[in-house]
Amino acid sequence: MQHIVALAIAGFGVYLGYAFFIEKREVSELALPGMRRELGIGLLVGAGLYAVCELILMALGCYRIEGLNPWRFMIPAIAMALSAGVFEELLFRGVLYRSIETWFGSWAALVVSSLVFGLTHLMNPQGTLEGALFIAVEAGILLAGALMLTGRLWMSMGFHVAWNYTQSAIFSSIVSGNDAAQGLIRSTIKGPDFLTGGDFGVESSVLALVLALVLCTGTGIALVVMAVKRGKIVPPIWKRAR
């Protein structure tokens, strides 16, 4: 656990150092004002969205609770959730999204960062093209929309950390094709792959896609619309030049 926290701090340090010394700019996307509120919103929404997925599976008879493990089973997933939430957001939203936005504008950054984020999940042990594309749709717009609206990474980090942590530490489910680990709830999942997501996990299920279109993508679109209304959309460099 300690080494993950240290690596996360190092990740922030490298990111800040690159911005200050190479790009010679202020890192407004990691500004502290508003951090607590945006991070808190992200954590609550991320946990809530995943919990809704499992509750629907439970209502359909696919997810069955067998009992509870000791609370210490929730500890190991902290490292996984932090590493994914911090490093992937720094990389895909902080570096990739921002770099594309600088040249080609916010809309291109939204599309490209979402696709690349989803397709990198093909490298996971049980990765599938279907699961990768579903993640691009389910999470890409939501995470990029949070950055587009706030101009900071805290909300998207909150979404990411809470989704992964709730999935593994509480519901003991498969996280994006990785091996499942025991969390707080001892459970069994049985049902067709289009509902459960099979070996990739619930993110590649039709249930998650439908839920994403209604909630995740809907929330992401709402964030994007708010960003448009607040004048946060960056045009391509050639339009800015004119």
Q: 9 pLDDT band (50/70/90 cuts)?
A: confident
Confidence of residue 177 (pLDDT cuts 50, 70, 90): very low
Which residues have C-beta within 8 Å of that of residue 122, sequence separation ≥ 6?
128, 129, 132
Model pLDDT for residues 179-213, shown as the tens digit of each residue: 667 788 887 777 666 665 555 556 556 666 666 56
Nearest to 3 by CA among 79, 88, 101: 79
Question: Per-domain residue ranges for the chain?
Answer: 2-241
Q: How far is CA 5 from the centre of its chain?
A: 19
**How far apart, in whole angstroms, are the C-alpha atoms of residue 207 and residue 84?**
23
Residue 176: predicted pLDDT: 57
pLDDT of 25 > 50? The answer is yes
